[in-house]
């Protein structure tokens, strides 16, 4: 076995160690998610998009989700899921962790979708923050009979924070409206609200119909026809996300070693992009100035190769870099594409006692250890400026919060970056960066 290969095994073990730090919420989701997946006749070659239904309680998210599966099942693009089978989520409940998200699959002529629908408001918030509901775009459901309500606004705000860029509006329960002028009012208000939260309010598709009619196969003009219209809007308005291989190369360093006579090798799992041999790269993070170097050899699957791509576990031979200069937690990136940051806003979910989290709350100046990619760094959490009663304000296990986070040493991160917080060997919180401050 070559030195390179031996070092490689070490990397795999390091990767495993790191795995254990993985957020239990996400892990549970990964296990549960497949239970509902449906290997239907649709082609896996279609581009994949993650979406979901969001919106105020009782506005018809689950009914709409069921109606979509019913309509797409007629076209051979889904398995019909009845209302009850979406909402119950028995598997998740049984596990004792409230994931409570149904992951539903269907396709259209153009794309393949994974769709999340959560039973309750708290679940939406938690799932969006923890990444269990990772959405490229969302359908916001608003009942024509009520118009926008507090959770309509809250979900839009949160969608924006977690990086959802495009929304399609479904104005539901049109069958229950006598005065059709109400619909114009709802539309106007929704366009304004979307704009307020940074979405393209003027151009966002708004479809008006009745999920219940579609599900019950009546009043087709406001039922089934509107499901078709909705899916067409989703297909065209929500862009297909860029594949990881299309982004600039980035690999977080998991392990570093030196090979006699050759130089320093760093290894890890490639997060995005494709790297060719003899490309200039930069090592960034851990509080040191970026180190410029060149990758002179690449080893993936214990073989020397000419390129390394997203998803690969690779070892990169770096020219002219000393072993002690490279540290786990740094990233290897194309020069100028990333920056290390020290201070930022985070949205996070604080794990409950049952999920293995803390038993007690914490407040301003809490100092857990933050895990971002392969880095772990001591950090310092404070309430955002202007928070009332900041000195005494507490966060309890099971809460969702927004706080300011300051790292001891700057690391490469970006808006939307996911992380875990740990303390004394247990994961206490999980979340994402919402805004870079410094």
Ligand X SMILES: Nc1nc2c(ncn2[C@@H]2O[C@H](COP(=O)(O)OP(=O)(O)OP(=O)(O)O)[C@@H](O)[C@H]2O)c(=O)[nH]1
Instruction: Cite the active site residues.
Output: 58, 61-62, 121
Within 13 A of 5's CA, how many CA atoms are on the CB side?
Answer: 6
- Among 403, 229, 251, 214, CA closest to 337: 251
Quick check: 58 binds ligand X (CB under 6 A)?
Answer: yes
Residue ranges in 201-260 that form contacts with ligand X under rule CB under 6 A: 210-213
- CA–CA gap between residue 53 and residue 36 (Å, rounded): 17
Minimum distance, C-beta of residue 52 to Mg ion, in the bound complex (Å)? 11
Binding region for ligand X (CB under 6 A) out of 56-64, 287-295, 385-393, 413-421? 56-64
CB 269 within 8 A of CB 313: yes
Q: Which helix (H) or strand (E) holds 8?
A: helix 3-19
Q: Which helix (H) or strand (E) holds 68?
A: helix 61-74
Nearer to ligand X, 190 or 340 (CB): 190
Binding residue (CB under 6 A) for ligand X from 18, 33, 42, 61: 61
Q: How far is CA 274 from the centre of its chain?
A: 22
DSSP of 250-283:
EEE--EEEEETTTEEEEEEEEEESEEETTEEEEE
Binding residue (CB under 5 A) for Mg ion from 11, 62, 100, 161: 62
Binding residue (CB under 6 A) for ligand X from 11, 26, 32, 62: 62
Minimum distance, C-beta of residue 363 to ligand X, in the bound complex (Å)? 31
Residue ranges in 161-200 that form contacts with Mg ion under rule CB under 5 A: none
178-185 long-range Cβ contacts below 8 angstroms, 24+ apart = 182/144, 182/147, 183/144, 183/208, 185/147
Nearer to Mg ion, 50 or 62 (CB): 62
Quick check: 63 binds ligand X (CB under 6 A)?
Answer: yes
Minimum distance, C-beta of residue 25 to ligand X, in the bound complex (Å)? 20
CB 221 within 8 A of CB 206: no
Quick check: 114 binds Mg ion (CB under 5 A)?
Answer: no
Which of Mg ion, ligand X, none binds 63 (CB below 5-8 Å, type-dependent)?
A: ligand X
Minimum distance, C-beta of residue 188 to ligand X, in the bound complex (Å)? 21
CB 205 within 8 A of CB 233: yes
Residue ranges in 119-158 that form contacts with ligand X under rule CB under 6 A: 119
- CA–CA gap between residue 111 and residue 47 (Å, rounded): 5
Binding residue (CB under 6 A) for ligand X from 122, 176, 185, 396: 176
Minimum distance, C-beta of residue 219 to Mg ion, in the bound complex (Å)? 22
Which of Mg ion, ligand X, none binds 188 (CB below 5-8 Å, type-dependent)?
A: none
- CA–CA gap between residue 316 and residue 209 (Å, rounded): 55
Binding residue (CB under 6 A) for ligand X from 91, 146, 154, 175: 175
Quick check: 403 binds ligand X (CB under 6 A)?
Answer: no
Show the tokens assigned to 240: 């297909």
Residues lying near ligand X in the complex (CB under 6 A): 57-63, 119, 172-173, 175-176, 210-213
Residues lying near Mg ion in the complex (CB under 5 A): 61-62
């Amino acid at each position: 076995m070559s030195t390179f290969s031996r070092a490689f095994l070490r990397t795999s073990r390091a990767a495993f160690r790191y795995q254990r730090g993985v957020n239990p919420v996400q892990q549970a989701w990964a296990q549960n998610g497949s239970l509902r997946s449906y290997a239907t006749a649709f082609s896996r070659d279609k581009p994949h998009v993650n979406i979901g239904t969001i919106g105020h309680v009782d506005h018809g998210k689950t009914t709409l989700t069921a109606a979509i599966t019913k309509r797409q099942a007629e076209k051979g693009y889904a398995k019909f899921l009845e209302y009850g089978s979406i909402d119950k989520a028995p598997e998740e409940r049984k596990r004792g962790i409230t994931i409570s998200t149904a992951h539903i699959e269907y396709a259209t002529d153009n794309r393949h979708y994974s769709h999340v629908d959560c039973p309750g408001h708290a679940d939406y918030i938690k799932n969006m923050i923890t990444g269990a509901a990772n959405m490229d775009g969302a359908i916001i459901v608003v009942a024509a009979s009520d118009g926008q309500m507090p959770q309509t606004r809250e979900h839009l705000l949160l969608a924006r924070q977690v990086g959802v860029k495009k929304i399609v509006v479904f104005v539901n329960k049109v069958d229950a409206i006598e005065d059709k002028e109400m619909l114009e009012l709802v539309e106007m208000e929704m366009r304004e609200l979307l704009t307020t939260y940074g979405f393209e309010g003027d151009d966002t598709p708004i479809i008006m119909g009745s999920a219940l009619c579609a599900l019950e196969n009546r009043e087709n003009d406001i039922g089934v026809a509107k499901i078709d219209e909705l899916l067409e809007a989703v297909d065209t308005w929500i862009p297909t996300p860029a594949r990881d291989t299309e982004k600039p190369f980035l690999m977080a360093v998991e392990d570093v070693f030196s090979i006699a006579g050759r130089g320093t090798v760093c290894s890890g799992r490639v997060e995005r992009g494709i790297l060719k041999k003899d490309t200039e790269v930069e090592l960034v993070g851990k509080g040191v100035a970026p180190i410029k170097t060149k990758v002179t050899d690449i080893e993936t699957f214990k073989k020397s190769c000419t390129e390394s791509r997203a998803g690969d576990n690779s070892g990169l031979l770096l020219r002219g870099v000393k072993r002690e200069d490279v540290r786990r937690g740094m990233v290897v990136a194309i020069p100028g594409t990333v920056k290390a940051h020290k201070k930022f806003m985070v949205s996070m979910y604080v794990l409950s006692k049952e999920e293995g989290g803390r038993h007690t709350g914490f407040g301003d100046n809490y100092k857990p250890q933050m895990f971002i990619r392969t880095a772990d760094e001591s950090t310092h959490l404070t309430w955002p400026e202007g928070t009332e009663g900041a000195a005494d304000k507490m966060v309890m296990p099971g809460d969702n919060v927004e706080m300011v986070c300051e790292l001891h040493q700057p690391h490469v991160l970006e808006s939307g970056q996911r992380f875990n917080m740990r303390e004394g060997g247990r994961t206490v919180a999980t979340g994402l960066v919402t805004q870079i401050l410094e």
